[in-house]
């Protein structure tokens, strides 16, 4: 069945080879994704023609969408990306910063209610397109006064950047809807977050995941191979040979075959077969060990997840990683080297491209409350041990330790441990006094993990 289907596709593609140049030119005009060999492929459900069919010729976006490793990383990343709330930070003249979680500018980032696009969904879609394509496009829908009223996300495959004639300077954007209708969007009304610069298209960014597309495609091939083998092994399970085959007629051969089939298939698997002729049985099928591709798959998973900067274990993959003593350590690393940089990038770009139209004033900017992220919080037990050690070492008063633990204190707690225990020698008392003197002006909350 699979072979017939592939032959049908090849024949259909061959029939349309003559129109390939025209199709490619039309695809470029409409903004459809192109493969390196010039064959147009759309990743958004549109039909395209292949000059020579192969699973490896699917478009990059289709390969990424079908890959379980990529989707595992993306699921964790887009879900975790929404954990810290958005806020507006106001920097004063003295350098002090004030956090505002109810600023009016945050209303603009609520998404697009008319399109059933909440802020969380908007952020998930924006991060996904930025990570997979290297470009995130969010259009600002303005009111009559020209201020941003809401944000509307666009798929990267539906947006074209247009430069001034003969230059690499941005003129405007062209957005294409599902009906093929195109409209112009001015740069001041489009938030374009790009990952670096694509050398082939300087007005666009380029995703790092494109560098390991071969690994993604190879991993997809393993899935296809496993599915094909499980669906139709196309391998003879047993070969039963009759030693007196010269004397046996077709009826005898058919009788032995029927008997073996009845006993060894379906509910009869594992049954004992007794035949009244001299036979030999040879096993031909593959064993589970022969079909095991876990070593190859682990290597591909490691390559793909390393490009994202997310350990495989965090994405829910079964690959064991001896570099981490526990899951919390791996999750913290993934948060620090993947999520934190993306939070900073999105906050900076939204502040730069959206700030004035959203109502931000001078000295104000968008930010994510990263200090509320659970993966970055110090372990409660470790934090308490630090506070106790500082008190027992004579560095802090009991009232300071209780305050850092969230406990109430009174005047009786304004003491150091040696004042409570008593009996310390003059030398010890003098040494602790010098130690306390040296900590004056030092913010001990930094040492204890408090910010």
Domain map of the chain by residue range? 2-57, 71-232+286-377, 236-283, 378-448
Which pLDDT score is estimated for 380? 66
Tokens of 98: 């004030």
Alpha-carbon torsion angle 57, 63, 67, 69, nearest 10: 110
Which pLDDT score is estimated for 323? 66
| Of 66, 152, 68, 70, residue with least CA distance to 108 | 152
Length of the chain: 451
Rounded CA gap, 446 and 182, in Å? 55
Which pLDDT score is estimated for 56? 41
- Whether residue 148 contacts residue 354, with contact meaning beta carbons closer than 8 Å, is answered with yes
Which pLDDT score is estimated for 25? 46
Q: Is the dihedral of CA 311, 316, 320, 324 positive or negative?
A: positive
Which pLDDT score is estimated for 74? 92
Query: What is the residue-wise DSSP string for 16-71?
Result: TGGGHHHHHHHHHHHT--B-TTS-B--SSS-----SS--GGGS-HHHHHHH-HHHH
90-125 burial, b for 16+ CB within 10 Å, e for fewer? beeeeeeeeeeeebebbebbebbeeeebebebbbbb
Which SS3 state, helix, strand or coil, does residue 119 take?
helix
| Of 134, 230, 188, 178, residue with least CA distance to 358 | 188
| Of 186, 191, 164, residue with least CA distance to 174 | 186
Instruction: Describe the crossing of helices 68-81 and 119-133 by its angle, rounded to 10 degrees.
Output: 140
Rounded CA gap, 77 and 339, in Å? 7
- Whether residue 40 contacts residue 47, with contact meaning beta carbons closer than 8 Å, is answered with no
Rounded CA gap, 304 and 175, in Å? 31
Tokens of 264: 């060894």
Q: What is the CA radius of gyration of the chain?
A: 33
Which pLDDT score is estimated for 429? 63
List average pLDDT for each run of 10 residues in the chain, which is 451 residues long.
Answer: 49 45 44 37 33 45 85 92 93 84 87 79 93 93 76 92 91 92 93 92 90 88 80 64 69 78 67 68 67 80 88 76 71 91 95 89 92 80 81 85 82 81 59 62 48 44
| Residue 186, CA distances (Å) to 130, 141, 160, 194 in order | 20, 11, 12, 17
| Residue 33, CA distances (Å) to 27, 213, 293, 410, 414 in order | 7, 15, 32, 69, 69
| Residue 237, CA distances (Å) to 46, 85, 119, 255, 281 in order | 41, 59, 56, 18, 10
């Amino acid at each position: 069945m699979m072979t017939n289907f592939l032959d049908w596709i090849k024949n259909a593609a061959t029939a349309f080879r003559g129109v390939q140049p025209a199709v490619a030119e039309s695809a470029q005009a409409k903004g459809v994704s192109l493969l390196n060999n010039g064959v147009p492929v759309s990743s958004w459900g549109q039909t395209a023609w292949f000059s020579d069919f192969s699973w490896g010729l699917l478009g990059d976006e289709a390969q990424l969408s079908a890959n379980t490793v990529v989707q595992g990383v993306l699921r964790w990343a887009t879900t975790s990306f929404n954990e810290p709330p958005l806020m507006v930070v106001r920097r004063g003249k003295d350098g002090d910063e004030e956090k505002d979680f109810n600023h009016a500018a945050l209303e603009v980032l609520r998404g697009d209610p008319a399109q059933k696009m909440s802020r969380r969904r908007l952020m998930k879609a924006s991060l996904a397109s930025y990570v997979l394509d290297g470009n995130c496009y969010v259009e600002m829908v303005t009111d009559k006064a020209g201020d941003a009223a809401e944000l509307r996300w666009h798929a990267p495959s539906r947006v074209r950047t247009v430069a001034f004639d003969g230059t690499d300077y941005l003129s405007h954007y062209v957005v294409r809807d599902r009906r093929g209708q195109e409209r112009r969007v001015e740069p001041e009304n489009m938030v374009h977050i790009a990952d670096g610069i694509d050398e082939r298209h300087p007005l666009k960014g380029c995703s790092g995941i494109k560098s390991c597309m071969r690994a993604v495609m190879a991993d997809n091939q393993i899935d296809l191979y496993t599915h094909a083998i499980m669906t139709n092994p196309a391998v003879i399970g047993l070969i039963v040979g009759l030693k007196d085959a010269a004397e046996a007629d077709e009826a005898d051969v058919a009788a032995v075959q029927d008997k073996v089939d009845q006993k060894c298939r379906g509910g009869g698997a594992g049954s004992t077969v007794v035949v009244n002729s001299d036979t030999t049985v040879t096993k031909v099928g593959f064993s589970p060990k022969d079909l095991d591709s876990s070593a190859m798959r682990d290597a591909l998973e490691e390559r793909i997840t390393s490009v994202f900067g997310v350990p495989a274990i965090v994405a829910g993959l079964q690959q064991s990683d001896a570099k981490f003593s526990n899951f919390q350590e791996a999750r913290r690393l993934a948060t620090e080297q993947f999520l934190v940089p993306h939070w900073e990038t999105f906050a900076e770009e939204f502040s730069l491209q959206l700030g004035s139209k959203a109502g931000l004033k001078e000295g104000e900017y968008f930010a994510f409350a990263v200090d509320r992220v659970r993966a970055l919080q110090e372990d409660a037990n470790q934090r308490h041990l630090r506070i106790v050690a500082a008190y027992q070492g004579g560095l802090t008063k009991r009232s300071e330790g209780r305050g850092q633990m969230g406990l109430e204190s009174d005047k009786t707690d304004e003491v150091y441990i040696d004042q409570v225990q008593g009996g310390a020698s003059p030398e010890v008392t003098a040494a602790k006094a010098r130690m306390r003197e040296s900590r004056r002006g030092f913010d001990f909350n930094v040492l204890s993990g408090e910010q």
